[in-house]
Amino acid sequence: MNSAGHSEATAHRGLELTPFRGLRYDPDRVGSLAAVTSPPYDVVVRPDGLHHLEAADPHNIVRLILPQAATPSARNERAADTLRRWLSEGVLTTDPEPGLYVYEQRDGNGMLQRGIIGALRVSDPAEQVVLPHEDVMPHVVADRADLMRATSANLEPLLLTYRGDDSTAATADLIERTAEQPPLLATTTEDGFHHRLWSVTSPEDLAAIQSGLGSHQALIADGHHRWATYRRLRMEHPSPSPWDHGLVLLVDTARYPLRVRAIHRLLHDLPVAEAVAALEGRFRVRRLEAPLPEALEALADAACSGNAFLLAGDGAFHLVDHPDPGLLARTIPADRPTAWRTLDATVLHATLLEHVWRIPEDSPAHIAYIHDTAATVEKAERDGGTAVLMHPVREEVVRDLARQGVTMPRKSTSFGPKPATGLVLRALDL
């Protein structure tokens, strides 16, 4: 593994991206590259999506990122055993020389995203090099850390964004030139996205990328828990070590703007009728007899003038808006920026979950976070719970808060498109 050491004495100006020897599937050993990929671990809707991916191919990456067994330790041991077996069988092979990887995603509707995958130096929050914008759940960080320790691998890249300028012009040109060459791999996943990957190994090209990024900071678009995991594991291992770096995809959103979507909540033990009854006198609630697309339009309209949510789970939709100002004043901390205090996620967590519904937000037994809107509604209707559908936050708000050092409530945003998991991995002991 080509990994630069971390030195406290070194003055770090910005992003430090290091080449690595990528671990990739041998196309001749699997059914297809599309059949072995997966969305990021927290996007897989379990158990339906998990079973679907496991059935797609016996070597699907979900067997590493979401191993199944009776206990957490057994799950991590299974993932480590599976990774060792796939390496010994040649299912996964290591690229011959270290490089950075240009990665492209394209859909059929004109969306194009390109970025660079590499091993990024793990920095401390005080350095303001990597900006988080969401809080994390300690139990998720602990779970991801156990898995990374067991496998000694970064199994999927985080999605980070930076704003390119004149200093990154050479990097932008390099990405465009590389995308004109034959790729290392190309595949189309079942969501209709076309994926291509190239390796950049020329010392001159690598130096140009590293120089251009060296004065920039990045926003975590997706992967807050994994970044917190990288930081925990770096502190556990004496430096220099491969744990000083973590696998990321860096996208210049000045050239390739991301989509920002909401992450919805599924409240397992709260029927819709009870949820609505508890809102009486606190929020306005209107029942909508409309299909999901129309209900989401009504949510977007309501969100233009204040906090708004859509409840589902009983066969209808309930538009929740116009919160009582006195209720908000009593339940939302007054010592935070106005942009934070008025976020839908803030009102949901501080007012609705904690005060009105009294649901612990950090308990998987009570609440689930789901990216897919229709899946959230379907699971609520099937299980008798309440789906809370959210309206997305604008990227400018997210970045502005992050630069102020203000973190949003956990699972506030979903940036995309997210990198497919399984196209390139990073083994820390190779």
Q: Does 231 share its domain with 170?
A: yes
Indicate if the pLDDT at residue 14 is higher than 60.
yes
Find how far residue 17's CA is from the centre of its chain. Answer: 19
Q: Flag whether 8 is in a domain.
A: no
Q: How many residues does the chain have?
A: 430
- Quote the number of domains for the chain: 2
187 forms bridges with which residues in the sheet? 195
The predicted pLDDT at position 12 comes to 54
Q: Flag whether 94 is in a domain.
A: yes
Q: What distance in Å separates the CA atoms of residue 327 and residue 383, rounded to the nearest whole number?
A: 30
Q: Does 66 share its domain with 170?
A: yes
Tell me how many degrees the CA angle 153-157-162 measures, rounded to the nearest 5.
140
Note the pTM of the prediction, 2 decimals.
Answer: 0.81
- The string of pLDDT tens digits covering residues 207-227 is 999 999 999 999 999 999 999
Q: Flag whether 12 is in a domain.
A: no
Q: What distance in Å separates the CA atoms of residue 42 and residue 52, rounded to the nearest whole number?
A: 15
Q: Does 272 share its domain with 145?
A: no
Range of the domain at 163: 17-259+416-427
Q: Does 403 share its domain with 361?
A: yes
Indicate if the pLDDT at residue 413 is higher than 90.
no
Q: Does 146 share its domain with 95?
A: yes
Nearest alpha carbon to residue 22 among 5, 2, 8: 2
Q: Does 254 share its domain with 367?
A: no
- The string of pLDDT tens digits covering residues 379-404 is 999 999 999 999 998 877 888 888 88
- Please spell the DSSP secondary structure of 204-253, one letter per residue: HHHHHHHHHHTT--EEEEE-HHHHHHHHHHHHHSPSSSGGGEEEEEEEET
Nearest alpha carbon to residue 67 among 93, 90, 38, 34: 38
Average pLDDT over residues 256-264: 90
385 with 378: CB under 8 angstroms? no
Average pLDDT over residues 418-427: 97
Average pLDDT over residues 316-325: 97
Q: Flag whether 6 is in a domain.
A: no
197 forms bridges with which residues in the sheet? 103, 185
Q: Does 179 share its domain with 317?
A: no
380 forms bridges with which residues in the sheet? none
Residue 248 belongs to a domain with what CATH number? Answer: 3.90.1530.10
- Please spell the DSSP secondary structure of 121-133, one letter per residue: EP--GGG-SEE--
Q: Does 227 share its domain with 332?
A: no
Indicate if the pLDDT at residue 2 is higher than 90.
no
Q: Mean of the per-residue pLDDT values for the chain?
A: 92
Q: Flag whether 44 is in a domain.
A: yes
Tokens of 166: 């004149």
